[in-house]
Amino acid sequence: MSILVVGSVAFDTIETPHGKRERCQGGAATHFAIAASFFTDVRVIGVVGDDFGPKQEEAFKKRNIDISGIEHIPGEKCFHWAGSYEGALNEAKTLQTDLNVFADFSPKVPSNYQDSDFLFLANIDPVLQKRVMDAMPDVKMVAGDTMNYWIADHRDNLLKMLAGLDTLIINDGEARMLSGEHNLVKAAKKVIEMGPKSLVIKHGEYGATAFFCERSFPGTKNTTVPFRAPALPLEEVVDPTGAGDSFAGGFYGYLAAQKEITPRAFRTALFYGGVMGSFAVEKFGIERLRDATREEIEERFRLFREISHLDLDAE
Ligand code: AMP
167-171 vs 198-202, strand pairing mode: parallel
Q: Which domain holds residue 230?
A: 2-308
CA of 284 to the centre of ligand 1 (A): 14
Query: Are 5 and 66 contacting, i.e. CB atoms less than 8 angstroms apart?
Result: no
Q: Residues for the chain: how many in total?
A: 315
Nearest atom in ligand 1 to 30's CA: 10
Give the mean pLDDT of the chain.
95
For residue 315, is it within any domain? no
Cα–ligand 1 centroid distance for 31 (angstroms): 9
CB of 249 shorter than 6 A to ligand 1: no
Whole-angstrom Cα distance, residue 13 to residue 232?
26
Q: Determine phi and psi for 255, rounding to 5 degrees.
A: -60, -45
Under the banding of pLDDT at 50, 70 and 90, the label for residue 223 is confident
| Domain annotation covers residue 144 | yes
User: Which strand ranges, in their side-by-side order, compose the sheet holding 93-98?
Assistant: 19-26, 10-16, 79-84, 93-98
Q: Whose CA is nearest to atom 9 of ligand 1?
A: 27
Among 86-95, 236-245, 299-308, name the one with the lowest average pLDDT: 86-95
Q: What is the mean pLDDT of residues 70-78?
A: 98
Please report, for the domain that includes residue 176, its CATH number: 3.40.1190.20
What are the tens digits of pLDDT across the range 275-291? 999 999 999 999 999 99
Largest CA distance in the chain: 64
Parallel, antiparallel or unpaired: strands 19-26 and 10-16? antiparallel
Instruction: For residue 142, give the nearest of 194, 185, 183, 196 by alpha carbon.
Output: 196
Query: Which residues have C-beta within 8 Å of that of residue 284, sequence separation ≥ 6?
Result: 14, 16, 18, 19, 21, 24, 238, 239, 241
Got the DSSP string for the chain? --EEEE---EEEEEEETTEEEEEEEE-HHHHHHHHHTTTS-EEEEEEE-TT--HHHHHHHHTTT-EEEEEEE-TT---EEEEEE--TT--SPEEEEEE-GGGGG------GGGTT-SEEEE-SS-HHHHHHHHHH-TT-SEEEE---HHHHHH-HHHHHHHHTT-SEEEEEHHHHHHHHT-SSHHHHHHHHHHTS-SEEEEE-GGG-EEEE--TTTSTT-SS--S-EEEPPP--S-----TTHHHHHHHHHHHHHHTSSS--HHHHHHHHHHHHHHHHHHTTSSTTHHHHT--HHHHHHHHHHHHHHH---TT--
Tell me, yes or no, whether 218 lies in a domain. yes
Ligand 1 atom nearest residue 31's Cα: 10
List the single range of 86-90, 172-176, 245-249, 283-287 with lowest mean pLDDT: 86-90
Residue 245 Cβ contacting ligand 1 at under 6 Å: yes
Identify whether 149 is part of a domain.
yes
Residue type at 99 in one-letter notation: L
Residue 157 domain flag: yes
Residue 23 lies in a domain: yes
**pLDDT of res. 292:** 97
The angle that helices 243-256 and 28-36 make with each other, rounded to 10 degrees, is 40
At residue 205, the pLDDT reads: 86
Residue 313, in any domain of the structure: no
Report pLDDT digits (tens) over 154-200.
Answer: 999 999 999 999 999 999 999 999 999 999 999 999 999 999 999 99
Closest residue by CA, ligand 1 atom 6: 242
Cβ neighbors of 104 (< 8 A, separation 6 or more) are none
User: Domains in the chain: how many in total?
Assistant: 1
Say how many Å lie between the CA of residue 171 and the centre of ligand 1: 13
131-158 confidence digits (pLDDT tens): 999 999 999 999 999 999 999 999 999 9
